[in-house]
Amino acid sequence: MAYDFKLACTLPAPPEVIYETWLDSKGHSAMTGGEAKMSKKVGADVSAWDGYITGKNIELVKGRRIVQSWRTSEFSEADPDSIITVTLAPTKTGSRLTLHHAKVPDGQTSYEKGGWQDSYFTPMKNYFAKKKK
């Protein structure tokens, strides 16, 4: 049985910049520290963290929302892809990123309990803070 969770963080960049960086291979790689292959086309294959994550773009709303199927190399063949929804909203100092991760396989709680924070939120905060200077 799969489970869902939501996490959020604030980032020192406008939603449009985060959106464009997430969907750009070089930008995504630079902001996370792992090689990524991204696209701005719905239906396109994507990957992140040196191939640890693979998936497809499901829905893209420029500057506001990114929906992707994701599976990691830790998923079994029987596990369906999980779905991430990244929602971006402007704040006074940048953006609020809300992440909804759905259909996560049972027993894979590390994504909620530090994986997203360590592999995405913290590196993204550092990346956008440096770009702002």
Count of C-beta atoms within a 10 Å radius of residue 97? 24
CATH class belonging to 3-20+57-132: alpha beta
Find how far residue 105's CA is from the centre of its chain: 17
Q: Rounded distance, CA 36 to CA 130, Å?
A: 20
The secondary structure of residue 24, as a DSSP letter, is S
Structure tokens, 26 = 């070089």
Token readout for 11 is: 């980032």
The contacts of residue 44 (CB under 8 Å, 6+ apart) are 56, 57
Q: For residue 43, which amino acid is it?
A: G
Structure token digits, residue 50: 């040196």
Taking residues 108-125, report their average pLDDT: 80
Give the pLDDT score at 111.
64
Q: What's the pLDDT band for 97 if we cut at 50, 70, 90?
A: very high
* Whole-structure pTM value: 0.92
